[in-house]
Copies of this chain bind each other. A is one copy, B any other.
């Protein structure tokens, strides 16, 4: 009994992994059970079964992709002190994720955000909540850095979050669409410069000009 529950879990994991890989290239709404079944050497019913429906599998794949992003970018940074040390760790992990992430076709979260923003429903709510949660995390770290005097108090935290998110999205396009091999390094440089420009004048790394 124990054994078969573990086996069911392993099968479920394998299906989700294949769905994430396929959706990374073709989009979540483009997920086809037929080609997943072929790739996994399973029946279509066997692929869908553990999730109740194609929609259930799409939800599971999206939830997994968000977990993979969190594991790659948020979890390592949580080992650092809140505020600027953690933000700096986030930036480094984020750019590593953009360059050598777990998805074959770049940031799954960005791709699904673009794909689903005009399609009301449960999947759109899922990705909206995940993106909102991620931005709230960044915002809290900016606020903590302000409390510690590492970022100027008059800076708008949402502005800085927007800038960091934007640099990552531009780099994702440069890497995935334009094939620019220098983009991840540029993103790291620009993110660190954005954090530095937001420091109180007395703590900035170098003069501007």
In the docked arrangement, what's the CA distance between A190 and B166, Å? 11
* Contact A177 B30, beta carbon cutoff 8 Å: no
* Contact B26 A26, beta carbon cutoff 8 Å: no
* Contact B162 A163, beta carbon cutoff 8 Å: no
> Among residues 160 to 203 in chain A, which have CB atoms less than 8 Å away from a CB atom of chain B?
162-163, 165-171, 173-174, 176-178, 183, 186-187, 189-190, 197, 200-201
Query: Is A119 in contact with chain B by the CB < 8 A criterion?
Result: yes
Size bin of chain A's contact surface? 35 or more
Q: Which of B115, B124, B201 is the one whose CB lies under 8 Å from A114?
A: B115
* Contact A25 B162, beta carbon cutoff 8 Å: no
* Contact A173 B177, beta carbon cutoff 8 Å: no
Listed stretches A12-20, A51-59, A103-111, A141-149; interface member: A103-111
In the docked arrangement, what's the CA distance between A93 and B113, Å? 24
Q: List 21 A-B contacts (CB under 8 A).
A: A27-B29, A105-B118, A113-B114, A114-B114, A114-B115, A116-B177, A117-B176, A118-B176, A128-B177, A131-B178, A159-B186, A159-B189, A162-B167, A162-B183, A163-B166, A165-B166, A165-B173, A166-B170, A169-B173, A197-B208, A201-B208
Residue positions of A touching B, CB distance < 8 A: 24-27, 29-30, 104-106, 110-111, 113-119, 124, 127-128, 131-132, 135, 152, 158-159, 162-163, 165-171, 173-174, 176-178, 183, 186-187, 189-190, 197, 200-201, 208-209
